[in-house]
Amino acid sequence: MKYYSTNGRTAEVTLEEAVVKGLAADKGLFMPKIIKPLPASFFEQIERMSFQEIAYQVADAFFGEDVPAEQLRHIVYDTLSFDVPLVPVTEQIYSLELFHGPTLAFKDVGGRFMARLLGYFLGKEKKRRVNVLVATSGDTGSAVANGFLGVDNIHVYVLYPKGKVSEIQEKQFTTLGQNITAIEVDGTFDDCQALVKSAFMDEKLNEHLLLTSANSINVARFLPQSFYYFYAYAQLKKLGKADHCVVCVPSGNFGNITAGLFGRRMGLPVSRFIAANNSNDIFYQYLLTGEYNPRPSVATIANAMDVGAPSNFARVLDLYGHSWEAVKREVSGAAYTDEQIADTMLACWKSNHYLLDPHGACGFRALQENLLPGEVGIFLETAHPAKFKDVVESIIHEPVLIPEKLQVFMRGTKQSVPMTSSFSDFKDYLLRQ
């Protein structure tokens, strides 16, 4: 399968090049040239298939030409070592719990898949070590670090802003050791991102080291997110409730929802999608006005959605031929303030005894407000509420239990490399590796 750039000013590349490079040379995002529809027989029996089996069929449509069946099956099964259950919250609304992986957020799926696919490509050609640089404001660093932990020939550097991530988040990528190095930058998240970008552009550094990125622009992180949309549908179909299914996705960079839209293009019978925003409502405004106006993000309690210029917007536009009308036919929007998010969490806890995290709360509320009679809604519960313990406890006024998986990280010892926000210091450090 060839991959083209959304900017269309560079030649098509192979899957391996797209995965290793991350971003196209013209700064566009890679798109698969063909989105293969899955056969009717697949959808007829989907409710009788396991998550891994469904995911393998979807993965085969994207990657089957480039990765031998045996290896691809192994990568998929190994990635999905945890369940993604569909849990009822009300009669009409279901939660797709994406927080049962190692770091308790949906990014585990893409992080683990990308690590294994990159490991396969590197092992095949006995190349020198690849260095993955990732800047994080919290969740991405832990999913990527844990996904790549122990993978041969790959070293991961997680850059994070000192004192600006929660203790739980910090422990998830500073206690791992092995091929993971945490770099604690005396600066902001933007400084971390600037260091990573400068590193990719620095000629001397790139002669010395093979560098790649692991954020959601990478096709190997982004496409596997489509797997669980099919599995969600399968679970709803098993209950006999899948005829008018609406899927709602709490969205920041729009990688997650775009993978769902790819799924629909492959034939997944979802009636429509809803993108739920927090106060960073750039996409919602686009749906209302047809104008896309990125702006600096503002901090909210759903902080993983604090994005002012959603990087996967280019993929959404490309998928719908740059037609606002076409986007609006399949995707609607919603946007909520912190106060509305908190009200929703409290009300849902009281009425349904289901504990939402601040991101999932946006999704749940958008379904409550938008579902029509006869429709059944699924929202993606993108992280475990315990990851946002302080915020959640201050809203429901009850203690939130920390799952054992998170407690294990808490008991580890933090190890990090202190770094200034000056690129020459970071470059010197990398050159010494």
Residue numbers annotated as active site: 107
Sequence-distant (6+) residues with CB within 8 A of 73 are 56
CB of 48 to ligand PLP, least distance (A): 30
Please state, in angstroms and rounded to a whole number, the distance separating the CA atoms of residues 353 and 163: 34
**Residue among 313, 361, 314 nearest 336 (CA):** 361
- Beta carbon nearer to ligand PLP, 107 or 365: 107
Neighbours of 135 (CB within 10 A): 24
- Site string (246-285) toward ligand PLP, x via CB under 6 A: ----xxxxxxx-----------------------------
Q: Is 216 in the site for ligand PLP (CB under 6 A)?
A: yes
* Ranges within 139-178 binding ligand PLP (CB under 6 A): 139
CA–CA separation, 275 and 255 (whole Å) = 11
212 vs 300 by CB, closer to ligand PLP: 300
By CB under 6 A, tell whether 333 contacts ligand PLP: no
Calpha distance 264→364 (Å, rounded):
21
C-beta of residue 405 within 8 angstroms of C-beta of residue 376? no
Q: Does 297 bind ligand PLP (CB under 6 A)?
A: no
28 or 385, CB closer to ligand PLP? Answer: 385
Helices (H), 268-357: 282-289, 313-319, 324-330, 338-352
**Sheet architecture: strand order including 272-277:** 86-88, 93-97, 376-381, 245-250, 272-277, 331-335
Tracing tokens 């031929």 back to the chain, one arrives at: 321
* 28 contacts ligand PLP (rule: CB under 6 A): no
Q: Are 148 and 180 in contact (CB under 8 A)?
A: yes
Minimum distance from residue 382 beta carbon to ligand PLP (Å):
3
Quick one: tokens of 403? Answer: 């799952």
Site string for ligand PLP, 367-386 (x = CB under 6 A): ---------------xx---
Print the binding letters for residues 341-360 with ligand PLP: x by CB under 6 A, - otherwise: ------------------x-
Closest to ligand PLP by CB, 120 or 388:
388
Question: In this complex, which beta carbon is closest to ligand PLP, that of residue 359 or of residue 389?
Answer: 359
The answer to whether 362 contacts ligand PLP (rule: CB under 6 A) is: no
The site for ligand PLP (CB under 6 A) is made up of 105, 107, 139, 216, 250-256, 304-305, 359, 382-383
